[in-house]
A and B are shown apart, each in its own frame.
Chain A
Amino acid sequence: MKNSTAYLIIVMVVISLASGLVLALTYNFTIPSINEIAAREQEQAILAVIPGATKYETYESAPFPMYKGIDDSGSIKGVAYVIEGGGFQGIIKIMVGIDMQNQALTGIKILSHSETPGLGARITEDWFQSQFAGKSINDAFVARQDVEAITGATISTKAVSRLLKESIPNVVEQYKTLGGGK
């Protein structure tokens, strides 16, 4: 009986159901905390790439995640948006801040990535991210020319530079369509 096909199927179904049940319960139990952490990190990321902003609003009609950073007096300090694209071995997701008046980046923050730990993963280090603050949005964004590259991780450096270079014109365009600073 123990080696009959029916018994094999029953055992596997029971194990799978038990596994699914345990995972569903764990998921339900942990998801509020996971969402809360994600929302907090999003707010921190937006405020970090727009210096001076104390709160943010979402551009609801933008085709990609786009936010405006506002300071205490209600004036707009800059625009933040999320761009994602291929890195060395996975998707790199970046929060970018732009000061539209001065046509300059105000900061970037790597939100998630799957680059090689110790090499490409160093795109999250401060010295790498902070070099983009203050750069004009019309710069070339070429690794080892106007962007300082990471040793052993040229592809990751190039990926970040390319994502920025390609996304900036779209955002400027969107910003105009959505009524600029209004």
Chain B
Amino acid sequence: MGATYEFYKGLWKENPVFRMVMGMCPTLAVTNAAINGVAMGLATAFVLVCSNIVVALIKTLIPSKVRIPAYVIIIATFVTIADLILAAYFPDIQKVLGLFIPLIVVNCVILARAEAFASKSNVRLSILDALGMGIGFTWALTLLGIIREILGMGSIFGISLFGEGYISWIIFILPPGAFLTLGLLIAFFNAFSKNKAEDSCCH
């Protein structure tokens, strides 16, 4: 359980989307195009790292009775900062992401890492944990976005793949497509994951 494990666990073994099935609201809602998945993942990772650092720094000062509201204020502060900085210096990215940024506040991955990890660990391990979880969340959303965009619009990162003749499956960029894609991906990963039985029986 060394420092590198705290980083790597978020990528696969405790991947927030495919293994822990957390943060489903942004996962299902924004992944109808690959670029949305990348942008949402990176913005979430930024907030995750910042909030984990602050929570790890002031964990001993926060009484347990008010820890959840305290974490939510810290997270909401960083989400607003991210929104303002994007609006001021990266207006194009902010236009794509603008609608989703406030959603980051209610992303349970961030609150879960603050509660389950940063409030019990030091700053260094909290940063590694947040980076691993953030990257794990980003690649999961990007994969979902790529699959849904290819099937639903016949393009990848906005680049058309099949030309004019392709009849796109609109359902994949609609909400049902999110459930179908995510369910099939989790089933696929479970089928190829050897320790699924032990994992699911004992938690």
Task: Given A12-B70, A15-B74, decide whether A119 and B173 contact each other with a Cβ distance below 8 A.
Answer: yes
CB distance from A114 to the nearest CB of B (A): 5
Q: Give which listed residue, A3, A16, A114, A152, contacts B73 with CB less than 8 A.
A: A16
> Is A64 in the interface zone, CB < 8 Å from B?
no
A1-15 vs B: 1/0 string, CB under 8 Å? Answer: 011000110011001
> Is A30 in the interface zone, CB < 8 Å from B?
yes
CB distance from B123 to the nearest CB of A (A): 18
Tell me whether B88 and A30 are in contact (CB under 8 A): yes
* Docked complex Cα distance between A6 and B74 (Å): 21
Q: Give which listed residue, A12, A26, A152, contacts B84 with CB less than 8 A.
A: A26
**A152 neighbours in B (Cβ, 8 Å):** 170, 173-174
CB distance from A157 to the nearest CB of B (A): 15
B71-83 vs A: 1/0 string, CB under 8 Å? Answer: 0011011001100
B9-52 vs A: 1/0 string, CB under 8 Å? Answer: 00000000000000000000010110010000000000000000
* Docked complex Cα distance between A23 and B77 (Å): 7
* Docked complex Cα distance between A33 and B69 (Å): 32
* Docked complex Cα distance between A3 and B174 (Å): 48
Tell me whether B91 and A37 are in contact (CB under 8 A): yes
Task: Given A3-B63, A152-B174, decide whether A117 and B84 contact each other with a Cβ distance below 8 A.
Answer: no
A39-73 vs B: 1/0 string, CB under 8 Å? Answer: 00100000000000000000000000000000000
Q: Give which listed residue, B62, B77, B99, B170, contacts A117 with CB less than 8 A.
A: B99
**A177 neighbours in B (Cβ, 8 Å):** none
* Docked complex Cα distance between A119 and B88 (Å): 27
Tell me whether B70 and A15 are in contact (CB under 8 A): yes
Q: Which of B75-101 contact A (CB under 8 A)?
A: 76-77, 80-81, 84-85, 87-89, 91, 99
**B81 neighbours in A (Cβ, 8 Å):** 22-23, 26
CB distance from B111 to the nearest CB of A (A): 15
> Is A34 in the interface zone, CB < 8 Å from B?
yes
> Is A118 in the interface zone, CB < 8 Å from B?
yes
> Is B114 in the interface zone, CB < 8 Å from A?
no
Minimum CB distance partner of B175 in chain A: A116
**B85 neighbours in A (Cβ, 8 Å):** 26, 30
* Docked complex Cα distance between A27 and B85 (Å): 9
> Is B65 in the interface zone, CB < 8 Å from A?
yes
**A145 neighbours in B (Cβ, 8 Å):** none
Tell me whether A11 and B173 are in contact (CB under 8 A): no
**A117 neighbours in B (Cβ, 8 Å):** 30, 32-33, 36, 99
Q: Give which listed residue, A7, A11, A30, A33, contacts B70 with CB less than 8 A.
A: A11
**B73 neighbours in A (Cβ, 8 Å):** 12, 15-16, 19
B48-62 vs A: 1/0 string, CB under 8 Å? Answer: 000000000000011
Chain A residues with CB under 8 Å of chain B are 2-3, 7-8, 11-12, 15-16, 19, 22-23, 26-27, 30-31, 33-34, 37, 41, 114, 117-119, 151-152
Chain B residues with CB under 8 Å of chain A are 30, 32-33, 36, 61-66, 69-70, 73-74, 76-77, 80-81, 84-85, 87-89, 91, 99, 152-153, 170, 173-174
Question: Closest 9 A-B residue pairs measured CB to CB?
Answer: A30-B88, A118-B32, A33-B88, A19-B77, A118-B173, A30-B84, A34-B88, A26-B81, A37-B91
Instruction: List 19 other contacts, CB 8 Å, given A117-B33, A118-B173, A152-B173.
Output: A2-B63, A3-B65, A8-B66, A11-B66, A11-B70, A12-B70, A12-B73, A15-B70, A19-B77, A22-B81, A23-B80, A26-B85, A30-B85, A30-B88, A37-B88, A114-B99, A117-B32, A117-B99, A118-B33
